Amino acid sequence: MEERLQKILARAGLTSRRGAEELIRQGKVTVDGRVVTEMGVKVDPARQRLVCDGKPVEMAEAKVYILLNKPRGYVTTLDDPQGRPIVTALLKGVGERVFPVGRLDLDTEGALLLTNDGELAHRLLHPSFEITRTYEAVVRGRPEKRNLARLAGGIMLEGRRTSPAAIKVLAAGAGETTVRIIIHEGRKRQVRKMFEAIGHRVLHLKRTAYGDLTLRGLGTGEFRILTTRDLELIFKSKNSLYNKVDTRYI
């Protein structure tokens, strides 16, 4: 049966649907030997030969979902030209080929989901599903109440306003402040850029949860296979953490 090419690549467990679209744009996908770069092309994987990035596309079978407590210094790509360590190297004993859902910066640690389920990755990443992500940020200095209120209400970043955020100060010292921030967007380096916009550089950043799914019990560099109940904590309880914290500065 014919389906859109990007949907097939996602279902094969290669990447999310958005990631598949980027691979197609880059000319890394061929159908029966022909490079395809336009969106919306329909193909039949049972009758046509699909190759992505030089490798035949094989439809994934068993779906696997992994929560990793990513250490600093690891990249969230499947390979790195600079030779830096990649997150999948931490998944000892996992036989299935999985990919990271979204990214964490090299210097950011914490909760990272990996899977071979492109449709689930699409739901996690697409803004319309509003899946919350909780971070703890250690920032330089002590942000003023009015500036944290600005972040909570949304600020202009690179020509677009951020969605409301839930913010709570967890600890404050003379030279730095620890802040919990909950957002449902996934722009590149968003949390760091938000605090930079109010004049406070992020010194340390850790993602601690997706929805109500937390890192509880996972040490740095450790991972676990997720259950159906775990996935429900992400999707069925979405925004529950967000609703527990006032969107104004606390």
Q: Which residues are catalytic?
A: 105
Long-range contacts of the stretch 242-246 (C-beta < 8 A, 24+)? 242/132, 242/166, 242/182, 242/184, 244/166, 245/166, 245/167, 245/168, 245/180, 245/182, 246/166
Q: What is the rounded CA–CA span in Å between residue 75 and residue 208?
A: 18
Asked whether 223 and 116 are in contact (CB, 8 A), the reply is no
- Which residues partner with 209 through β-bridges? 134, 214
Q: What is the rounded CA–CA span in Å between residue 169 and residue 161?
A: 22
Greatest alpha-carbon span in the chain: 66
Q: Where are the beta strands (DSSP E) in the chain?
A: 3-4, 29-31, 34-35, 42-43, 50-52, 55-56, 65-70, 99-100, 108-115, 133-140, 156-157, 160-161, 166-172, 176-183, 202-210, 213-214, 223-225
